[in-house]
Amino acid sequence: MASDTADVLLAVGTRKGLFIGRRRHGRWELGGPHFAAQAVYSIGIDTRRPTPRLLAGADSAHWGPSVFHSDDLGETWQEPSRPAVTYPQDTGTSLERVWQLHPAGPAAPDVVYAGTEPGGLFRSADGGETFELVRSLWDHPTREQWVPGGGGLAVHTVITDPRDADAVTVAVSAAGVFRTTDGGESWTPSNSGVKAVFLPDPHPEFGQCVHKIAQDPVNRDRLYLQNHWGVYRSDDAGAKWTDIGGGLPSDFGFATAAHPCRADVAYVFPITADIDRVPAEHRCRVFRTEDAGATWEPLTDGLPREDHYGTVLRDALCVDGSDPAGVYFGNRNGEVFASADDGDSWRQLASHLPDVLCVRAAAVG
């Protein structure tokens, strides 16, 4: 069992740089920014190495987007001499942003996936130093009908199955969930049961605006999905989805996360509406289910009690791999909160940062 004295690394990507926190012996220190004035939309922490490798997708207004890596927990950073992620010339497009950096499981050492805008998936076999476009998804027969979500046409979530390196699930805004079971040779839309409330046909094969997906740590075929209206669960790796948002104050939101060790436990941060993107009922609350979505409870101990307007974005809620779980979130007010006890109680780690875009944490001691 981990405790609040365990050594934890916390990486917070903001619109103006990356901040790195460490918890040692129960005390937090937060430093930065790294990549000053660059927007950091994606962070990966690769714990498959003796010393975790940090990956950061940073976006310079002058130089454009790039992927950096650090092998000393953020003390120094390296950028490849040639861009790590580039679209082949024949695609007729260029990289806009790296939305996701996902180290695959132990069955695929050194494999890292990058999800990008405009709607591409890239695969690295060298720990995130160089990437190649996964052409089968890029050339999917439905692609011409994909449309951008509010933040652009982006592959923003990648989930790999630790039991099977060939099983990969991605979420695309606004094209929905796609899944491969043959290592990327083919991809199948996996959206049955998920509504696209903004389309004439609310139950299309694809075209849903999925905001985030998380995988149960015990039952790997169980997935949780936060949609553009709707919170869902799948018990068959995404083949079918069931609505589980009935016990929430709003089923609109961006973020979801699953407990790293306990089955049936997941977290969401409800937002009022797509046209009013502030916390539901103006209250800063993480909601937790411990029965796979049958019921939800608000977690508020230590969080602000006054009216609150800090929106939590899709990658700004995470867990750290411990049991009890460390749970973390940041918001567009520039606040960062942490829990060391599965979300039962919280403490504020930072305020007045730039917009928090993404948060990642891992036990490193």
Average pLDDT of the segment spanning 344-354: 98
**Mean pLDDT computed over 122-126:** 98
- Asked if residue 5 has pLDDT above 90, the reply is no
CA of residue 229 relative to chain centroid, distance: 18
Phi and psi at 89, nearest 5°, equal: -60, -35
Identify whether the C-beta of residue 268 lies closer than 8 Å to the C-beta of residue 244. no
Structural domain count of the chain: 1
Strand order in the sheet with 164-173: 154-161, 164-173, 176-180, 188-189
pLDDT at 358 over 90: yes
Whether 45 and 62 have beta carbons less than 8 Å apart is answered as no
Measure Cα distances from 114 to 179, 300, 317, 341 in Å. 15, 34, 19, 31
Helices of type H across 22-99 = none
- Interatomic CA distance for residues 250 and 252, integer angstroms: 5
pLDDT of residue 107: 86
**Residues 182-192: what's their mean pLDDT?**
97
Which tokens go with 48? 């498959």
pLDDT digits (tens, 9 = 90+) for 36-65: 999 999 999 999 999 999 999 999 999 999
Has residue 119 been placed in a domain? yes
If you average pLDDT over residues 225-239, what whole number do you get? Answer: 98
Average pLDDT over every residue of 215-238: 98
Task: Assign residue 252 the CATH number of its domain.
Answer: 2.130.10.10
pLDDT level of residue 105 (50, 70, 90 thresholds)? confident
Do the domain assignments include residue 125?
Answer: yes
Host domain of residue 158: 97-363
Q: Let me know if residue 222 belongs to a domain.
A: yes
In the chain, helix, strand, coil percent, each to 5?
5, 45, 50
Residue 58 lies in a domain: no
6 domain-assigned? no
Q: In the predicted model, what is the mean pLDDT of residues 276-297? A: 98
Q: Is residue 165 part of a domain?
A: yes
For residue range 234-257, list pLDDT tens digits in order: 999 999 999 999 999 999 999 999
pLDDT tens digits along 146-174? 999 988 999 999 999 999 999 999 999 99
Return the pLDDT at 39.
Answer: 98
pLDDT level of residue 3 (50, 70, 90 thresholds): low
Q: Is the pLDDT confidence value at 2 over 60?
A: no
pLDDT at 6: 75
Is residue 218 in a domain? Answer: yes
For the chain, give the percent of residues with pLDDT over 90. 95
- Answer yes or no: is 31 within a domain: no
